Amino acid sequence: MNAQSKRCLLDDTKPCTGCGECVRCDLDPEKLCDNCMKCVKGDAEYRAIRIDRVIVDEDKNA
């Protein structure tokens, strides 16, 4: 499946253009996310990540 046939992860009303904005680090926009978890670690009593939906890739379940 190419990038054009997928939906944008940041705005699902648009097709994916392959811009890479969805894999940018929240703390350092110049860095690609490498799952370092610095965005969720810290000295707060708790941290949360809001999940508003789960997208299942139909091709992987077939």
Q: At 27, list the tokens.
A: 């703390």
Q: pLDDT tens digits for 34-58?
A: 988 888 777 777 777 788 888 887 7
What is the rounded distance in angstroms from the CA atom of residue 13 to the CA atom of residue 15? Answer: 7
| Residue found under tokens 């890739």 | 57
Amino acid 34: pLDDT: 92
Q: pLDDT tens digits for 14-28?
A: 999 999 888 998 888
Residue 15 neighbours by CB distance under 10 Å: 13
Residue 45 neighbours by CB distance under 10 Å: 5
**Phi and psi at residue 15, in whole multiples of 5°?**
-75, 155
